[in-house]
Structure 1
Amino acid sequence: MAKATKKQALGRGLSALLKDPNNDIKSVDDKNADKVVGNIVELELSSIEVNPFQPRTSFNEETLRELASSIKELGVIQPITVRKIDFNKYQLVSGERRFRASKLIGLETIPSYIRIANDQESLEMALVENIQRQDLDPIEIALSYQRLIEEIEVTQEELSDRVGKNRSTVTNYLRLLKLDPIIQTGMRDGFISMGHGRALINIEDTNDQLDIYEKVVSQSLSVRETEALVRNYKNPESKGTSTKKEIPHFANKGSRELTDLLDAKVSIKASQNGKGQIVVPFKSEADFQRILNLIKSEK
């Protein structure tokens, strides 16, 4: 317990040092830099600005409130990382959820790990740290990779080494950015997976991409079914790639008769051996009762 108290006292002492204009540390070579850089210091939340390089653009409010509740009970267990940009002024490198949650419950200070970094280094640290998170969607990861390549000027090979991923993995993520923005939004919102997106990339025309995307979402197609749909689009004469199975003649004829009889768009799934199922849609409880009465009257 005494050890923890001593550490907290040290943090408060460093905070005072950082507020002293005569000790404005701007580089690792400045006086007292070794006492601050690389140490955990209690910084005022008001002295910290968010990182413009943060790849995450949205934060789940519910999970943020849960984190805030945890911080209120246990405190900030893992310090945030900041870089010093001016006298008593800092910028977040990582830990924005902890920063936001702390502000949410009205904390005035937060334990911070201080670094001195230029814009490029800060961008790289923020992006690489966030890429390692498990809750980023595929588009957020792809955008982070793109920013690293464009703004830090690294090759895909160098990028794969820095983020610890195979080059093919990096390439697959970057290719997602060729999708129509509507499809990218659908992936971010969870309507389709990265596997669906990778299949749709093979359709060059964006209008056709959107047509197939709408079918995938409306019919809840699997990745395998989407791949087959794309193959059939590119090779329309190839019957073997069609996702629609041929049904026996008796079932096809029967579906038309049932549709006329029940005044509902009846669909039938049947295999060549005669097994299958009949699906009769209804619009309301009253419509269901109408269909049920028609079926009873045919007995």
Structure 2
Amino acid sequence: MAKATKKQALGRGLSALLKDPQNDIKSAEDKNADKLVGHIVELDLDAIEVNPFQPRTSFNEESLRELASSIRELGVIQPITVRKLDYNKYQLVSGERRFRASKLIGLETIPAYIRIANDQESLEMALVENIQRQDLDPIEISLSYQRLIDEINLTQEQLSERVGKNRSTIANYLRLLKLDPIVQTGMRDGFLSMGHGRALINIEDTQVQLEIYEKILANSLSVRETEKLVKNLQEGQSVEKAAPKPVALPKNLRKSVKEFSEYLGAKVDVKVAKKGNGRLIIPFSSEEDFNRLKKIIQGED
């Protein structure tokens, strides 16, 4: 706890400087602006607004609560980055999860690096920094690349230099945006991998894409199996003939699934692939039903 207290105490003198209207810093040329660059400043959470350029569109509530618990114990270890908008008014450039988690536990201030940037620079900083994160899904990354191209007017070559990725890698991500929106949603929800998506791009007919998408989910198809299915289609076979036949559920598993369904009070479904791997599907009818199932699985009932 001593470390957290020390960390949170950094930059309080600079915080006072920022709150003095006589010394309002609006550009890098202003007096005392050099005192901000490279320093951690304690900012009021209420003085910070979220970034409209944030490429992430969803935040896992459970993950936020875990982060909030960590911040409660250790403090905010890595400062957020903001840009100055006006007197005592800032906008997030990066660190929205830390920002949200800090508000969740009722903190009043947060350590931050202050940048002075216009809208275009802020957009570029937010997108480039977020692209480097490991937990963005392929579609979020694809949309971020597209925004950098459209709104910052970057070529794929320039984008490659900015984000440190091969041009071919960027091109592969951008091609994912040609997929049917339902397939894109499946990738965002984790039902499909980027490999599945790259295989489906070769099918121009969106209706056929959706038929293959259903086959992937129903039969737990691997990327290799999906690629083979697409190849068979391109050679003239129908989706039904090209798709691998579903693997029959072993007798012992059928019995276990029945027992599982009775235990949970829900019709459990199991999909098994040829290699023996598969998916366990537990449907729920509402948030209340989901919480009921969660309690049973966690042994709380």
Q: Provide the TM-score with structure 2 as the length reference.
A: 0.78
For the 8 Å contact 1:25–1:33, the answer to whether it is kept is yes
**Distance of 2:252 and 2:211 partners within structure 1:** 25
**Distance of 2:105 and 2:7 partners within structure 1:** 24
Alignment CA distance shift 1:242-1:84 (3 Å): same
For the 8 Å contact 1:55–1:143, the answer to whether it is kept is yes
Residue of structure 1 in register with 2:234 after alignment? 234
Q: Which amino acid aligns with 2:130?
A: N
Q: Deviations over 1:70-93 (max 9, x none)?
A: 110111111100000101000000
Matched, 1:20 2:26: no
For the 8 Å contact 2:65–2:101, the answer to whether it is kept is yes
Q: CA deviation at 1:244?
A: 4.2
Q: CA deviation at 1:38?
A: 3.0
Alignment CA distance shift 1:243-1:78 (3 Å): same
Q: Deviations over 1:163-197 (max 9, x none)?
A: 01000000000000000000000001111110000
Q: CA deviation at 1:115?
A: 0.7
**Mapping for residues 194-273 of structure 1, pairs under 5 Å:** 194-236=194-236, 242=242, 244=244
Q: Which amino acid aligns with 1:233?
A: L
Q: Which amino acid aligns with 1:79?
A: P
Q: Deviations over 1:103-128 (max 9, x none)?
A: 00000000010110111111111111
For the 8 Å contact 1:268–1:279, the answer to whether it is kept is no
Q: Specify every segment of 5 or more residues in structure 1 that has no aligned partner in the other structure, as ranges.
A: 246-265, 270-276, 286-299
Q: Which amino acid aligns with 1:57?
A: T
Q: Specify every segment of 5 or more residues in structure 2 that has no aligned partner in the other structure, as ranges.
A: 260-301
**Mapping for residues 38-187 of structure 1, pairs under 5 Å:** 38-187=38-187
Asked which structure has the greater CA Rg, the reply is: 1
Secondary structure of 2:11's match?
Answer: helix
Q: Deviations over 1:233-281 (max 9, x none)?
A: 111269xx94548xxxxxxxxxxxxxxxxxxxx9779xxxxxxx99996
Q: CA deviation at 1:39?
A: 1.7
Alignment root-mean-square deviation, CA: 2.9
**Distance of 2:247 and 2:78 partners within structure 1:** 56
Q: CA deviation at 1:23?
A: 0.8
Q: How many matched pairs?
A: 255
For the 8 Å contact 1:42–1:110, the answer to whether it is kept is yes
Q: Which amino acid aligns with 2:188?
A: R
Q: CA deviation at 1:37?
A: 3.1
Q: Which moved more, 1:170-179 or 1:34-43?
A: 34-43
Q: Which amino acid aligns with 1:53?
A: F
